[in-house]
Amino acid sequence: MTEPATGDTGRLLVVGELCADIVVELDEPPQFDQVETLVRRTTVTMGSSSAITACGAARLGVPTALVGVVGNDLLGTFVRSELVHRGVDVSGCLVDGTTPTGSSTILTLPGGDRSILTATGSIGTVRVEHVANDAVAVARHVHVGAFFLQYGLHPDLAKWFASLRERGISTSIDPNFDPAGTWDSGIAEVLTATDVLFCNQHEAMEVAGAATPQWAVRWLLDRMPEGAVVVLKLGPRGAAAFHRSGGDTLRADALAPPVPGMLIDTVGAGDSLAAGYLAARLRGLPLGDALVLGVTNGTASTRAAGGIAGQLDWPTATSRAQL
């Protein structure tokens, strides 16, 4: 990523899906046949990989704007108001009265396992042409979350990312899970203009068609630009970042730090990790410190229901990360 000048946090532009999350905390998997089950708690909160990352970055003090699409409905109003409350610039968000706002019902179990039921609605309808030139002009970095759900971006994203990098704007994507099971949608071409890829081990292996995470990382870096970074999210084991220097693949590791409270759920933890990493890099921190701060923010998010309630501000995050 392009390093900002001293004291300049840089501006983050996030382009991607918007939806609401309905998080249902279960003690055991649900039963059907009209069985009524009492649950611990239901929380309606901000959803979507892109929006959770945007909220996390704004919470960490990075000027952040988001471009996405919502429906003209109750959930759309909720999502936009939550973003504004979290300090995210939504002036580039569009309201589409022809489709409902997307939503995900997330069933969580003690220990962090979960199942996600998503009604796509407006989720994949944002397109490159929706991004105003003014928004790009002030951006230092552009991030796209949930790549495989962004079918509206797929035709033009690789070319757009390449044009951004020519202008000195760095790029990142987080593919997330591919519900279609193809793990393609042109992602290999997009990687050729991607500076940072965030993914877990399963996603990395599926995208690369590799049998091990090690081979997956090699395949990914082979396709990414010089100096690009693969951030591998490792759940409770933290994260690892890989990049190349002088023909060698270098690795940095960050373990999950001690965080107050008990694990509530892992919804959005990886997106909060991405927010922490990007915020730290935009503030000029080296890769290793950025990875530690990302893991710290991602771990903190697991101490509250949903993806944004547990996100940290900059002083708290740097204190806990001991930076």
pLDDT value, residue 306: 87
For residue 318, tell me if it sits in a domain: no
What are the residues facing 225 on neighbouring strands?
A: none
- 7 within a domain of the structure (yes/no): no
- Position 5 scores a pLDDT of 38
pLDDT of residue 312: 97
Model's pTM, two decimal places? 0.92
In a domain, 97, yes or no: yes
Tell whether 24 is covered by a domain.
yes
Q: Is residue 130 part of a domain?
A: yes
- According to the model, what pLDDT value does residue 1 have? 60
Per-residue tens of pLDDT for the chain, all 323 residues: 644 433 456 799 999 999 999 989 999 998 999 999 999 899 899 999 999 999 999 999 999 999 999 999 999 999 999 999 999 999 999 999 999 999 999 898 988 788 989 899 999 999 999 999 999 999 999 999 999 999 999 999 999 999 999 999 999 999 999 999 999 999 999 999 999 999 999 999 999 999 999 999 999 999 999 999 999 999 999 999 999 988 889 999 999 888 788 888 888 999 999 999 999 999 999 999 999 999 999 999 999 988 999 999 999 999 999 98
Phi, psi of 289 (to 5 degrees): -65, -35
pLDDT tens per residue across span 66-99 = 999 999 999 999 999 999 999 999 999 999 999 9
Q: Which residues of 191-224 are buried (b: 16+ CB within 10 A; e: fewer)?
A: bebbbbbbbbbebbbbbbebeebeebbbbbbebb
Q: Structurally, how many domains does the chain consist of?
A: 1
- Asked if the structure places residue 5 within a domain, the reply is no
Domain housing 131: 12-29+39-313
Q: Pick from 104, 79, 84: which is nearest to 22 by CA?
A: 104
Does residue 4 form part of some domain? Answer: no
What pLDDT, on the 0 to 100 scale, is given for residue 264? 85
| 249 falls within a domain | yes
Note the helical H segments in the chain. 49-59, 74-85, 133-137, 157-166, 187-191, 201-208, 213-223, 269-282, 287-301, 314-321
Q: Is 253 exposed, middle or buried (0-12, 13-18, 19+ CB in 10 A)?
A: middle
Q: What is the CATH number of the domain that holds 260?
A: 3.40.1190.20
Which DSSP state fits 52?
Answer: H
